[in-house]
Structure 1
Amino acid sequence: MMFNKLKILLILVITILVSACGDNGTSELTEWMAGVKKETKLSIPKLMPPKVFVPVAYTGKDDLDPFNSAKLLAVLARMKADSSHGPDMDRRKEALESFPLDSLKMVGTIEKAGLKQALVQADKTVYQARIGGYVGQNFGLITGISDDGIDIKETVQDAAGEWVERKVKLELQESQK
């Protein structure tokens, strides 16, 4: 029995050694790799020469400092002088300027000394409005009064902060009977 076990073990060892020396199908793979290596040509592009930067001397030190407070005050004063189309913030407010324009109602007109005046109702109180007067909360200047409405030029700020003018008409409200 011992002899059979030894014989089987010897056959196993020889089989393993012979199988290790075998091809295992890798010869085709190595041949293919060698063929591709021969056919492949490497092309490495040449590097571009680096850009030459020429230094420039800084000449800004002779200019005005943009953060100088005196310069800023001068520019702000000039801007205030140039903003003549903006509303006059220093003028005294009139009674009808404390109401939003959509809450005001024109209820009629009257004529005094040859000048037409509008009758405007706000919170159950009737006010007299004349051309050149102000109404509404957007610096609304009355530019014209007719029997059917009041022409108003409002001055408002747009999204960029610039003052723009827009025309609005406050129409006569017919009384509900």
Structure 2
Amino acid sequence: MSFYYNLNNFIKLVVILSVFLGAAGCVSSDMTDLEKQVSTIMSKPGGQLEPLPQIKPYEAYVYESSKLQSKDPFKRFYIQEQSMAIEDTEQGPVDDGLTEEMRNEIQNRNREELERFELDSLKMVGTLTDEENNWGILIDPGGIVHRVKTGNYVGLNIGKITSIQEEQIEVREIIRDSSGRYEERIAKLTLIE
């Protein structure tokens, strides 16, 4: 054991000495070549630098909410269509096909993010299940992934998700026909493989 230990130390010593001797051989005290190169570079005329661009002074923006007294930050920023209200005529109220439940659903809710897209442009890519809910996984046209559950709204036609299964999501839409009456239609988003 001591033979190998001494041999290891000897090899380390030889390597370290050879590195130092090699480095010492590379050093030269003759600097005439370097001085000649520096003098030729310094004798050449220097180039002209372009002037620095003008920097515009920073103008700070001061936000003054007192000037916006007429703006209500809690007011809806989109206009909800009021064409779904019942119109009274001389013969009585017009039958537009809406049930009271459908009417409340249309008028008394906030729009959800996926209601900005056509139903055909949304793609179902999977489902998740936990103790309480089945979740559907949808991708919008911009490639953003969304998680939806039964009761969420999708599409432009007040599409309410009625059931989520492994292979499809069933959506009940409220569509206006050519005569101006509203009717329910069932649409399905099927799983893309």
Q: Calculate the TM-score normalised by the size of structure 2.
A: 0.47
**Whole-Å Cα distance in 2 between the matches of residues 108 and 150 of structure 1?**
10
Deviations 1:13-36 (A, max 9, x none): xxxxxxxxxxxxxxxxxxxxxxxx
Count of residues in correspondence between the two structures: 104
Instruction: Report deviation, 1:112.
Output: 2.7
Contact 1:94 1:134 in 2 (8 A): yes
CA distance in 2, matches of 1:94, 1:169: 19
Q: State yes or no: 1:162 paired with 2:181.
A: yes
| 1:106 alignment partner in structure 2 | 124
> Displacement, 1:89?
3.0
Cα offset for 1:158? Answer: 0.6
| Aligned-pair Cα RMSD in Å | 2.8
Q: Which residue of 2 aligns with 1:151?
A: 170
Structure 1 residue 124 corresponds to structure 2 residue 139: no
- SS in structure 2 of the partner of residue 137 of structure 1: coil
Checking the alignment, whether the CA contact within 8 Å between 2:97 and 2:183 is kept in structure 1 is no
- Gap regions ≥5 residues in structure 1: 1-70
Cα pair 1:85 1:163 within 8 Å, conserved? no
Indicate conservation of the 8 Å contact 2:161/2:170, yes or no.
yes
Q: Which of the two has higher C-alpha Rg?
A: 1
Aligned residue in 2 for 1:95: 113
Give TM-score, length-normalised by structure 1.
Answer: 0.51
How far is the alpha carbon of 1:137 from its aligned partner? 0.4
In 1, the alpha carbon distance for the partners of 2:120 and 2:163 equals 18
Q: Where in structure 2 are there 5+ consecutive unaligned residues? A: 1-87
The secondary structure found in structure 1 opposite 2:107 is: coil
* Aligned equivalents of 2:91, 2:161: Cα separation in 1: 34
The AA in structure 2 aligned to 1:153 is: R
How far does residue 91 in structure 1 lie from its aligned partner after superposition?
Answer: 1.5
Residue 92 of structure 1 and its aligned partner are, at CA, apart by 0.5
Q: Percent identity?
A: 33
Write the letter of the residue equivalent to 2:144: T
